[in-house]
Amino acid sequence: MINEELKSLGIENHHKGTSTGTAWFGSGDRIESRSPVDGKSIGHVSCTAMPDYERAITTALSAKSAWSNLPAPNRGEVVRQFGEKLRLHKNELGRLVSYEMGKSYQEGLGEVQEMIDICDFAVGLSRQLYGFTMHSERPAHRMYEQYHPLGVVGIISAFNFPVAVWAWNAALALVCGNVIIWKGSEKTPLCSIACQKLLTEVLTANHLPEGISSICTGSADVGRWMAEDARIDLISATGSTRMGKQVAATVATRLGKSLLELGGNNAIIVTPHADLKMTIMAAVFGAVGTAGQRCTSTRRLIIHEDVYEHVRDALTSAYQQLKIGTPLDTENHVGPLIDTDAVKHYLSALSEIKKEGGTLLVEGQVLQGEGYESNCYVKPAIAEVENHYAIVQKETFAPILYLIKYRGEVSEAIALQNAVAQGLSSSIMTNNLQEAEHFLSHRGSDCGIANVNIGTSGAEIGGAFGGEKETGGGRESGSDAWKAYMRRQTNTINYSNTLPLAQGIKFNF
């Protein structure tokens, strides 16, 4: 089904990692990539063993100086060419993302478009890696700040965005003068190889050394090697809060830098002043898009009692119209979960909802029969719950939407929204200016992303992406997120013939 796309992307149906000219590393055990769409095997990939990992590191270190010594606009030109390469292969890569991960083909195309957009952003950034000039307290002195490359950036990404999140990090890290090593999810290894292959073609065409970009494939062991390795200056890790805590603790023991993008437990507040048609659209897409497997997926709907019944009934009606099936069919709204382990977590969450006293308004189930042979398709569920339930406090990576009622002012709804450990994305649906501004104030949402009259899911690359609390505090993509990939340096220049000291200190001899 996907063979033509694999050939177009330069990778065959069965894969063994090599190093020369391709810069991916694997001589260890082979893992199988099996599509959640139809349960069929796409191919096999050899995992990275420790000798392979060492070669990846030494190759990256050997390329570091050559790459960082290129002027930033020249590095931007290479990234621009990569963006053009992605434009040429957008359809094939989008289809591979859809088939290997399970999201809809339209979402797969959107993910590749994110890669193109961040390349465009990075190209412009390559001419604006700016510092600041400050006035010195000492006469005939000049003081300023500048930014330098860190060196080696390690990227650990998750299955749900198998290409875009890497590109967010890779495009910025590269224009900032770093070399990169990527551990993609072992659940979507062919997406990683395809991206590396395309970037390698650009690097080779520009006569640049191997090691500027490398990938390592495997289980959590590879991620642990990266986190422990003092030769890697920054670890950017995207995934669960549990994983992020392990990475943060390991990197901290060597006083390294980490950039964390972790779990979300995102809520939409629906006030009596909301446009309810827009609300339903935002809630349904946010809850069922990517089968609920986005870190920004809508998990909770906090609804004022005056409009609660209307929203509840409209949602349950909308869910009856959802089409569930192969994501390669653009008529379908919901594809599969990533694997049968994810299905088990989904079923466990439904069981916990009932145990804690919640009511399932739309019952969930695993779908079987023709078209569902992978056993990864599930029915999106809606449950009436209380915000304090233990299951509600967790992030369940599945299409389960919790309805929670509030009765007072918008401050009560905000308190409910903030009363979880995660702090990624949030939204309020209201046409009341006071409610909107309250939500966006320091007394409002405690999340890294706060939206008005749009959902929690879907972020533009121009803004910094990330969250607070157990979401990790990192920022990727737009705005000044590039600073995370560079080291900051303050410079003072004395152009006088004397040596005045700061703070007026006198030192005579």
pLDDT at 458: 83
- We report the CATH number of the domain holding residue 317 as 3.40.309.10
Q: pLDDT by residue (tens digit) across 171-220?
A: 999 999 999 999 999 999 999 999 999 999 999 999 999 999 999 999 89
pLDDT at 14 over 70: no
pLDDT at 123 over 70: yes
Question: What's the mean pLDDT when you consider all of the chain?
Answer: 95
Residues 208, 332 within the same domain? no
Share of the chain above pLDDT 90, in %: 92
Residues 253, 286 within the same domain? no
Residues 41, 188 within the same domain? yes
* The two three-digit tokens of residue 343, written as one number: 């299905």
Instruction: Give the full edge-to-edge strand order of the sheet including 141-149.
Output: 133-135, 141-149, 486-494
Residues 244, 356 within the same domain? no
Average pLDDT over residues 241-248: 96
Confidence of residue 1 (pLDDT cuts 50, 70, 90): low
Residues 360, 479 within the same domain? no
Question: What is the span of the domain harbouring residue 105?
Answer: 3-262+472-489
CA–CA separation, 8 vs 73, rounded Å? 30
Residues 212, 323 within the same domain? no
Beta strands in 37-95 (DSSP E): 41-46
Give yes or no for a contact between 199 and 213, defined as CB atoms under 8 angstroms apart: yes
pLDDT at 15: 45
Domain count, the chain: 2
* The two three-digit tokens of residue 474, written as one number: 């990192």
Q: Specify whether 261 is catalytic.
A: yes
Q: Longest C-alpha distance within the chain, in Å?
A: 91
At residue 354's C-alpha, the angle toward residues 414 and 372, to 5°, is 100
pLDDT at 151: 98
> Residues 210, 261, 435, 470: which is the catalytic one?
261
- We report the CATH number of the domain holding residue 198 as 3.40.605.10
Q: Which of 294, 258, 243, 276 is nearest to 101 (CA)?
A: 294
pLDDT at 439 over 60: yes
Q: Which of 37, 58, 419, 432 is nearest to 211 (CA)?
A: 58
Q: pLDDT by residue (tens digit) across 132-159?
A: 999 999 999 999 999 999 999 999 999 9
The larger pLDDT score, comparing residue 323 to residue 20, is at 323
CA–CA separation, 21 vs 11, rounded Å? 14
> Which pTM was predicted?
0.95
Confidence of residue 12 (pLDDT cuts 50, 70, 90): low
